Amino acid sequence: MSSVIESYKLGDVRVEISETDHPQKLKVECNDGNYHSEFTVREYEYKNYKRHMNQRIKKAYDEQYQDEEE
């Protein structure tokens, strides 16, 4: 079982960062109650580009709802 490194909210989106079997990779899970996404990032990217990653997550969820409205 992978241990959770960090868990936080970006608006309505719950983000959870956890370890993977690969020593240099982390799993990012995002869920807002309606949509769920999951992807991996390198530990370096998480530590050095977390702000950029959060902006992309927020933008992707916002776009999902915009597409739904059209």
Per the structure, the complete domain to which residue 8 belongs is given by 4-69
Q: Which residues contact 61 (CB under 8 A, 6 or more apart)?
A: 11, 12, 13, 30, 32, 35
14-42 pLDDT, tens digit each = 999 999 999 999 999 999 999 999 999 99
pTM comes to: 0.86
Per the structure, the count of domains in the chain is: 1
Q: What is the per-residue DSSP string for 10-31?
A: ETTEEEEEEE-SSTTEEEEEEE
CB 26 within 8 A of CB 41: yes
User: How many Å apart are CA 70 and CA 18, to the nearest integer?
Assistant: 35
- Residue 1 pLDDT class (50, 70, 90 cuts): low
